[in-house]
Homo-oligomer: A and B are copies of this chain.
Amino acid sequence: MTQDWQQLNRDVMAVLQTARQRVLDRMASPLTVAEKTNRKDLVTNVDRENEQFLVSEIRRLDPEAHILGEEGFGDRLTSLKGRVWIVDPIDGTMNFVKQHDNFAMMIGIYQDGVGQLGFIYDVMKNVLYHGGKAVDGVWANQDQLTAPMDLPLAEGLMGASSPIVIHDIAHMQAIVHASSGMRIYGSAGIEIINCLLGKTVGYISYLKPWDIAAGQILLNCLDVRVSTIDGRPLDMLSSNLVLVATKKAQRDILQIEEDDVSL
């Protein structure tokens, strides 16, 4: 069938608005928190329940969907053929647990490997960022966004995840030094929103497919680059050390990476 992307965009927005209300209702009761790989990698009952809800709603909207979900309620994917939905039910689970703030729901829809629609929902601010190639634009709720200014690294703030900085992975400390400063918000979704809005010029972190699937679609649509730290396309079926950056900041950061190699 020919996909009506505008209609699908509206349908997914409605699903996410329902999901948001369910999450807010659940937050009124104590969370059940479990560790996944270590004590800083958490999952809650709300992550799991929300993924189950989103997966069932996606199957209703798109019975042929292939679904990759963080908590494992989707399918086991070995390729990006067909229409692939990549779902993060609660991005920034540590913030969700400790702050009840600064977390997001994210869905990215790919067609034969090409990003079409992305959704990042800042749940507590109640702002849903949505759009992509298939609808030719990015919106924050009803307001269309313009592309952020193409600032060089020296003129902008860089987002990062904490381990990248502390272990100085990928010359992160040199990158911070060359920038206007570093910010750490603790959620890929919130970091990506800051890049969409031009509040940071970039973001570096190890990310799983569900951490960047929606963001890549929205960012590319606003001319913000998404690549591996050495400038290559992401593999959307595995983890990547991801560099999000304006065109100029990407050039500056790839230069820092190259300079070191040549030493």
* A147-182 interface (Cβ within 8 A of B): 156-157, 162, 165-166, 173, 176, 180-182
Check A199–B98 contact: CB distance below 8 A.
Answer: yes
| Residues of chain B within 8 A of A183, CB atoms compared | 184-186
Task: Determine the distance from Cα of A156 to Cα of B162 in the docked complex, in whole angstroms.
Answer: 15
Please tell me how many copies of the chain the complex holds: 2
Check A157–B101 contact: CB distance below 8 A.
Answer: no
Check B186–A94 contact: CB distance below 8 A.
Answer: no
Q: Does residue A232 face the partner (Cβ distance < 8 Å to B)?
A: no
Q: Which partner residue on chain B sits nearest A181 by CB separation? A: B94
Interface positions of A (Cβ within 8 A of B) = 39-40, 94-95, 98-99, 101, 156-157, 162, 165-166, 173, 176, 180-186, 194, 199-200
New contact pairs (10) apart from A98-B199, A157-B186, CB-CB < 8 Å: A94-B180, A95-B157, A98-B157, A98-B200, A99-B157, A99-B199, A166-B173, A181-B186, A182-B184, A184-B184
